[in-house]
Amino acid sequence: MYPRLEIDIQKIRHNAKLLVDKCKKENIQIAAVTKVYCAFPEIVEAIKDTGIKYIADSRIQNLKKLKHINLPKILLRIPMMSEVEELVRYVDISLNSEIDVIRKIDQEAKKINKVQKIALMVDLGDLREGYFNEEELFDCIEQVLKLENIKLVGVGTNLTCYGAIIPSKENTQKLVDIAKKIEKRYKIDIDFISAGNSSSLHLIDKNQMPQGVSNLRLGEAIALGRETAYGDKIEGAYQDAFKLICEIVELKEKPSVPIGEIGMDAFGNKPVYEDRGIRKRAIIGIGKQDINISAITPIDTKIDILGASSDHLILDVTESDINYKVGDKVEFNLEYGALMSAATSEYVYKVFKG
Ligand SMILES: *Cc1c(COP(=O)(O)O)cnc(C)c1O
């Protein structure tokens, strides 16, 4: 069945192992982030014994699905007040930045006789989640330490997400310094110092990862073999564990400029066309309703993507060395946004290999 997302589980497993080894040298443990592939249990099963120490996801729904996997679960997204009751059942460590939510976690944890672990998020400049003001952070900690069913185990930060700020030795060191300050001031152990995501890996290569960082939360690096500060490939990792395969439904020679008055396309944009004469065009059975079309690349590099509507993607196959026919398959590599949407889409079939 097509379109399909073909998933090579062994390649993902290889990437996870490679990253575990890379981080081990710096005494950093990995939380494998599973959200981009909707925490498919087939993939998580394949990576669970590679040495990763945690499973992390933004959605409790996904973590719930992985209840049978014997690794501690981290909830990545700041929890909603309304999901706290679920949280205490399915999450081992949550990342938090609001005392009211933490109080609610304390209440719900008490009801089921649990001590719930939390890490506090610190905003080092990316301006997404976390305490920006250090005094506010310390105020929060003082209140947290009074809560009987909450255990503060760490601090975390997230960079390169909203503000696209690149992790540096300096901003990462700040997180370690804050952790040390907390330990000294309150005489508690802060063992979980979670410095970032796939955009922090470049610090290891440059020998600039501050001592004391104990955790990284890696999603894209494991799934797509890329670090995300500069978008570079990770040496020795696979970038093609995921492949999108679609079927040609029409193949015809047509002019490259539509005939008639140009109005608006299906999405309200007024398109511009370059006249390249008669071209061989293939329509494949995938569209904007199925996945995010802007982040896919044909593996046949001689194919150009001309455009897409809700259900059809039009390709120029004139230059290709392959003599495509109706019913043939065309394969694509996926970037993060395309993988996320393909994994999530109910219109894309998932096929696991290896
Ligand atoms: C998504 C996410 C990650 C993983 O990011 P990658 O760039 O895929 O490694 C890490 N931390 C948080 C808080 C996230 O939301």
**pLDDT surpassing 90 at residue 261:** no
Distances (CA, A) of 105 to 31, 45, 285: 22, 29, 46
Residues labelled as active-site residues: 35
Confidence of residue 262 (pLDDT cuts 50, 70, 90): confident
Last residue of a domain, one of 191, 224, 257: 224
Last residue of a domain, one of 193, 224, 255: 224
Question: How much distance in Å is there from the Cα of 306 to the middle of ligand 1?
Answer: 32
The residue nearest atom 7 of ligand 1, judged by CA position, is 198
How far apart are the C-alpha atoms of 344 and 338, rounded to whole Å? 10
Q: What is the mean pLDDT of residues 178-207?
A: 97
**pLDDT surpassing 90 at residue 186:** yes
Question: How much distance in Å is there from the Cα of 77 to the middle of ligand 1?
Answer: 9
- 126 and 22 fall within a common domain: yes
Of 266 and 224, the one with more pLDDT: 224
**Within a domain: 38:** yes
> Domain total for the chain?
2
- 263 and 205 fall within a common domain: no
Q: Would the CB of 58 count as within 6 Å of ligand 1?
A: yes
Confidence of residue 185 (pLDDT cuts 50, 70, 90): very high
**Within a domain: 333:** yes
- 105 and 250 fall within a common domain: no
Q: What is the mean pLDDT of residues 90-113?
A: 98
Query: How confident is the model at residue 354, as a pLDDT?
Result: 84
- 321 and 293 fall within a common domain: yes
Taking only the tens place, the pLDDT of each residue in 274-327 is 899 999 999 999 999 999 999 999 999 999 999 999 999 999 999 999 999 999
Atom of ligand 1 nearest to the CA of 76: 13
- E strands present in 78-168: 93-96, 116-121, 150-156
Q: How many helices (H) and strands (E) does the chain have?
A: 10, 16
What CATH number is associated with residue 69? 3.20.20.10
- 218 and 305 fall within a common domain: no
CA atoms within 13 A on the CB side of 191: 6
CA angle 72, 78, 79 (to 5 degrees): 80
- 194 and 319 fall within a common domain: no
Taking only the tens place, the pLDDT of each residue in 109-156 is 999 999 999 999 999 988 888 999 999 999 999 999 999 999 999 999
Question: How much distance in Å is there from the Cα of 28 to the middle of ligand 1?
Answer: 16
- 30 and 142 fall within a common domain: yes
The residue nearest atom 14 of ligand 1, judged by CA position, is 76
What CATH number is associated with residue 335? 2.40.30
Secondary structure element (H or E) that encloses residue 254, with its range = strand 242-255
- 246 and 346 fall within a common domain: yes
Is residue 297 within 8 Å of 259, Cβ to Cβ?
Answer: no
In terms of Cα–Cα distance, which of 231, 327, 332, 322 is closest to 290?
332
Taking only the tens place, the pLDDT of each residue in 326-345 is 999 999 999 999 999 999 99
How far apart are the C-alpha atoms of 105 and 71, rounded to whole Å? 21
Query: How confident is the model at residue 269, as a pLDDT?
Result: 85
- 286 and 203 fall within a common domain: no
**Within a domain: 3:** no
Query: How confident is the model at residue 270, as a pLDDT?
Result: 84
**Within a domain: 120:** yes
**Within a domain: 208:** yes
Q: What percent of the chain has pLDDT over 70?
A: 100
- 220 and 247 fall within a common domain: no
How far apart are the C-alpha atoms of 168 and 4, rounded to whole Å? 39
- Cα radius of gyration rounded to whole Å, the chain: 23
**pLDDT surpassing 90 at residue 61:** yes
The residue nearest atom 8 of ligand 1, judged by CA position, is 219
Residue 335 has a CB neighbour count (10 Å cut-off) of 17
28: domain range?
9-224
CA atoms within 13 A on the CB side of 217: 28
- 159 and 191 fall within a common domain: yes
How far apart are the C-alpha atoms of 55 and 33, rounded to whole Å? 6
Is residue 5 within 8 Å of 244, Cβ to Cβ?
Answer: yes
How far apart are the C-alpha atoms of 45 and 188, rounded to whole Å? 35
**pLDDT surpassing 90 at residue 103:** yes
Confidence of residue 181 (pLDDT cuts 50, 70, 90): very high
Is residue 150 within 8 Å of 116, Cβ to Cβ?
Answer: yes
Query: How confident is the model at residue 333, as a pLDDT?
Result: 98
Taking only the tens place, the pLDDT of each residue in 151-176 is 999 999 998 888 888 999 999 999 99
- 130 and 82 fall within a common domain: yes
